[in-house]
Amino acid sequence: MKTITFDQKKTSSIALEFDELITDNIYAWTEEDFAEYKVPIGNSRFPITDYFDITVEGEAESPAEVKMILNGDCNRVKYIGCKMSAGEVVVNGDADLHVGAEMSGGIVTVFGNVAAHAGREMKGGKLEIMGNTKEFCGASYIGEWRGMSGGEIIIHGNAGKQCGECLVGGKIHVLGDCDILAGIHMTKGTIEIDGNVNRWPGGQMKNGNIVIHGKVGRLLEGFVEQGIVTDPELDGVTYPGRYIEYKGDIALNGKGTLLIDAEKNRDRLSTWIEEDDEYNAIREYRDQ
């Protein structure tokens, strides 16, 4: 096993680009190799050792045998773990744009907050964010219509707008709250949100699953109520509890499944009997 540790010496007002510094490329590098490397910053390159002290310990015969550790405030370091296929990356602090973007394998863990486009177009592996993430997590990139297609993203904090946009596979689990339009344009995969959702989850979704355990502020009119389901199973995973089930988005002839916690969204129900804890009926959407 090989450990490559980056200890931050100073930050840059212009973001450093780490798309070349992934386990696939540097698994055989020595400290001398890093001393000669110049990192892209804007339209120029500067020695990486101007910004980090780099320590290499152990040996590796493949990217899978590398653990890359970044210590410091990396909120001006972009593309950490971008396109990696194996190995492990640990960021002990915040990170900038495109963390884990297009990764196909391995593990990226960020012990802080991350900027936009985390895990965009991800194909495999695991991205775990201990803080919050901004918009377009697990989404497509500008001009593209395929977002995350495989792997797993876990966000322990809150997620920004359009989380899982154009999702075509894999799973995103947000343990906190989520902003507007989670799962917009999704065609496959699963988004699970433990907290509250601002509004409009699943807009224009064609297929896939969205499970919301918190309160939903507003739903789009393109979702058709199906009734109450108990302990539903989606793609082999059981979600304990009772949920109001919707199908949609019918504006696109969508057949996606949207489940929202029945207790926390009971105001959407016409009747709630406290004595036996039963729902009698589902009413039409309220005027929002």
In tens, the pLDDT along 176-219 reads: 999 999 999 999 999 999 999 999 999 999 999 999 999 999 99
Share of the chain above pLDDT 90, in %: 90
What pLDDT, on a 0 to 100 scale, did the predictor assign at position 143?
A: 87
Mean pLDDT across the stretch 84-100? 98
**157-166, 201-210, 275-284: which has the minimum mean pLDDT?**
275-284
Burial 133-167 (b: 16+ CB within 10 A, else e): bbbbbbbbbeeeeebbbbbbbbbbbbbbbbbbbbb
- State the pLDDT confidence band at 267, using cuts at 50, 70 and 90: confident
Residue 155 has pLDDT above 80, yes or no: yes
Mean pLDDT across the stretch 81-98? 98
Name the more confident of 276 and 68: 68
The rounded mean pLDDT for the chain is 93
Residue 96 has pLDDT above 80, yes or no: yes
Counting Cα atoms < 13 Å in the Cβ hemisphere of 169 gives 10
What pLDDT, on a 0 to 100 scale, did the predictor assign at position 276?
A: 38
Mean pLDDT across the stretch 214-236? 94
Residue 59 has pLDDT above 90, yes or no: yes
Contact 204, 251 (CB under 8 A): yes
- State the pLDDT confidence band at 270, using cuts at 50, 70 and 90: low
**Euclidean distance between CA atoms 283 and 288, whole angstroms:** 14
Burial 76-105 (b: 16+ CB within 10 A, else e): bbbbbbbbbbbbbbbbbbbbbbbbbbbbbb
Name the more confident of 284 and 190: 190
Residue 31 has pLDDT above 50, yes or no: yes
Mean pLDDT across the stretch 5-28? 97
Q: 242-248 and 269-273 as β-strands: parallel, antiparallel, unpaired?
A: unpaired
Phi, psi (deg, nearest 5) at residue 32:
-65, -35
Bond before 277 cis per omega within 30 degrees:
no
Mean pLDDT across the stretch 126-135? 98
11 burial via Cβ count (<10 Å: 0-12, 13-18, 19+): middle
